[in-house]
Amino acid sequence: MDMWLYMKRTINVVKRGKKMYKDGRSKVEAIEAKLAKIRVNLDVAVDAAWEFEEAKQAVEVVLEAAEQSRADEIKAAVKKVITQYRSSEDFTVLLDREVRARMVDLIYRFKCFNLGKKLNLNFLANFPPLPEVLMEDYESEYAPAKKSTKGTTSNVVDAVTDTAV
């Protein structure tokens, strides 16, 4: 009887093992199915991420181009305003004042530190002629952009000579 009991127990153990194997196998198959779905979802997510990254880079390129064009527009507008201001009467007056102030300062310093010497201001009214080579260079470089500033230099000269004397 012991032998029959051992055989019965062995058969029950084998049956339980088969049942556990089938249950385990079905669980493994279910998990593999879930893993396959997860892999598909992961692939879709990775593809979407790459597409998003490409779209992001395209948007960055467009934004950089827009910023650059805006910066170019601003630079052109600033240059235009500066050009208009430099050709205006206000700029000429301010420049004359600055030149006059600097000339007065230089003359004052000369008089303070050179008490015994006399300052000849005739060169302010009558500039010495430039050599022919320098005049040609000047005309070739500055003649197209030369504008009429009639009277501005003489005003400065008159103001400086009046204050210096």
42 vs 111: CA distance, rounded Å: 88
Shared domain for 73 and 19, answered yes or no, is: yes
Same domain, 36 and 53: yes
Give the tokens for residue 21.
């194997």
Residues 95 and 81 in one domain: no
Pick the last residue of a domain from 23, 51, 86: 86
Per residue in 49-67, pLDDT (tens digit) is 999 999 999 999 999 999 9
Tell me the C-alpha distance between 24 and 20, whole Å. 6
Of 63, 86, 109, which residue constitutes the final position of a domain?
A: 86
Both 82 and 93 in one domain: the answer is no
Q: List helix spans (H) across 114-149.
A: 122-125, 132-142
Rounded Cα–Cα distance for residues 58 and 42 (Å) = 24
Residues 70 and 1 in one domain: yes
Distance of CA 112 to the CA centre of its chain: 49
Share of the chain above pLDDT 90, in %: 28
Structural domain boundaries enclosing 148: 89-164
Q: Domains in the chain: how many in total? A: 2
| pLDDT for the residue numbered 160 | 45
Q: What is the mean pLDDT of residues 143-164?
A: 48
Where among 86, 114, 139 does a domain terminate? 86
Supply the DSSP symbol for 88. Answer: S
